Amino acid sequence: MKNIFIIWVFLLTVCNVNAQQEKGIIGSSNWLNNWTEFKPGKAEYGEPTQILAGNITENTKLVKKDVYIIQGNVYVTNNAVLTIEPGTVIIGDGESKGTLIITKGAQIIAEGLETDPIVFTSNKSTKKAGDWGGIVILGDAPINKFGNYSSVNFDLDPSLTTYGGLNPASSSGVLKFVRIEYAGKKERGSSESFNALLLGGIGNKTILENIMVSYALGDSFEVLGGEPVMTKMVSYKSSGIDFKFTLGAQAKIDNSLAVRSSYLSSVSGSRCLDVSSYVKKDDVDFTKKQTLVTATNLTLANDSDNIDQDIKAGLVKEGVYVAENCSLVLRKSVISGFSPAVVFDNKIEINDKNLKKIRIEEMYLNFCNGNIFTEGSTENEDLESYYGNSVFFNLYSKTTNLETFNDFANPRRPDFRLALSKFTAATK
């Protein structure tokens, strides 16, 4: 009987540990190892040996032995495929604000390796956010605008930047084990910046895995419609929004990380996760699907030595923003060090219908100045009561990042998984 009791206690302990470990980014080992770079300004990538410029109209392969520089806006057109070998370095020219655009019908096959990632970075000796443009990938999956089509502005050729269509299962190629550093050039005559990786109308057959964006001046990842499936995305200390979804995107994002700095923020917003259905309501066809984001096992953390002080100084905003007329399923995720954790657009009426569209469950909300609020309101009793119900299994805590994560402060190989040996969470 004693042995049976010991086995039962052991099973309960294992089940409890596993349940805790499921929150935030997961993995039996630290999947950030080998392919990421948290000090990109100190990395040496070599001098360019080849120039990319103008339009690429036929199948082209970039090889590891060369270093490429993107001069100006480079468009991959005519249904061409741009293939990039593992370990290849592509540099964005700072003078011409180099930008790579994969037009609708074309593809990019950038399949790096964990031990040999593909790198897009700045050519400046002293690198900073916004040194070059970024990467734009356009497809023919549905968006919610009238006519199913739209075009990317950002100082680009509108005739070459249309996206959207009727094919949710289309493929724009592969991005796997790829780093994008110091992107996000300013638009001419505007305060707006390019995004490091913009995905417009991307179909669900596009492979998006193990992509790291570091020090972007604009948004790290912006999704305009489409049906992307995103796994192991990393946004590190960008000025804009880390993960932005709009225009009817039917998106899934899993096992992904955003680390913000209190001292890096854009005038247009600096949230980790931003979910909306439109920019202009008049442009939207409400007979179409509105934005639905299913986000599982995200870790959204603010890197601060003194989060209380930064919150009081007004340097910290919300971690997650949800606009009206869209849906969000946010599960098994960690939000640490924000003010507050989640904000609802003030146009969202707090009722059963809308709350069923915004599912926030099995969460670990840590060291936030409030948990779930309506925008501009200091009263959150209704939302706290609703999402604080035990049926949602949300946990709340007040521990430092050093206590919360395995190895948060490691300058080279941080580990942002929950530190189970130090895990302290209590419902309230």
pLDDT of the residue at 4: 39
Please state the length of the chain: 428
Is residue 66 one of the residues assigned to a domain? yes
pLDDT of the residue at 194: 87
pLDDT band at 264 (very low <50, low <70, confident <90, very high): confident
pLDDT of the residue at 9: 38
Looking at the 3D structure of the chain, how many domains does it have? 1
For residues 214 and 178, give the distance between their C-alpha atoms in angstroms, rounded to a whole number.
Answer: 11
pLDDT of the residue at 426: 35
For residues 346 and 322, give the distance between their C-alpha atoms in angstroms, rounded to a whole number.
Answer: 10
For residues 301 and 151, give the distance between their C-alpha atoms in angstroms, rounded to a whole number.
Answer: 33
Is residue 5 one of the residues assigned to a domain? no
Q: How far apart are the first and last CA of the chain?
A: 37
Q: Do 175 and 209 contact (CB within 8 A), yes or no?
A: yes
Prediction pTM value: 0.93
The fraction of the chain above a pLDDT of 90, given in percent, is 81
For residues 260 and 301, give the distance between their C-alpha atoms in angstroms, rounded to a whole number.
Answer: 6
Is residue 3 one of the residues assigned to a domain? no
Q: Do 155 and 179 contact (CB within 8 A), yes or no?
A: no
Is residue 244 one of the residues assigned to a domain? yes
Do the bridges between strand 292-303 and strand 327-331 make them parallel or antiparallel, or are there none, so unpaired? parallel
Lowest mean pLDDT among 69-78, 148-157, 237-246: 148-157
Is residue 4 one of the residues assigned to a domain? no
Is residue 34 one of the residues assigned to a domain? yes
Is residue 17 one of the residues assigned to a domain? no
Q: Do 323 and 277 contact (CB within 8 A), yes or no?
A: yes
- From the list 365, 361, 364, 306, the residue with the least C-alpha distance to 340 is 365
Question: Which position has the token pair 């001419």?
Answer: 188
231: buried, middle or exposed (CB in 10 Å: 19+, 13-18, 0-12)?
Answer: middle
Rounded to 5°, angle at Cα 218 from 409 and 26: 40
**What tens digit of pLDDT does each residue of 319-333 get?**
999 999 999 999 999
Query: Which domain does 232 fall in, by range?
Result: 23-422
Is residue 45 one of the residues assigned to a domain? yes
Lowest mean pLDDT among 87-96, 312-321, 325-334: 312-321
> How far are the Cα atoms of 213, 362, 363, 368, 394 from residue 331, in angstroms, in the given order?
23, 6, 6, 17, 9
Q: What value does the mean pLDDT take over residues 255-280?
A: 89
pLDDT of the residue at 268: 61
Q: What value does the mean pLDDT take over residues 78-88?
A: 98
**What tens digit of pLDDT does each residue of 196-231 get?**
999 999 999 999 999 999 999 999 999 999 999 999
Show the tokens assigned to 187.
């638009």
Question: Which position has the token pair 């995905």?
Answer: 199
Q: Is the pLDDT of residue 12 over 70?
A: no
Q: Is the pLDDT of residue 176 over 90?
A: yes
Q: Is the bond preceding 158 in cis, omega lying within 30 degrees of 0?
A: no
**What tens digit of pLDDT does each residue of 332-342 get?**
999 999 999 99
Lowest mean pLDDT among 26-40, 106-120, 308-322: 308-322
> Alpha carbon 145 to chain centroid distance?
23
Do the bridges between strand 207-214 and strand 229-236 make them parallel or antiparallel, or are there none, so unpaired? parallel
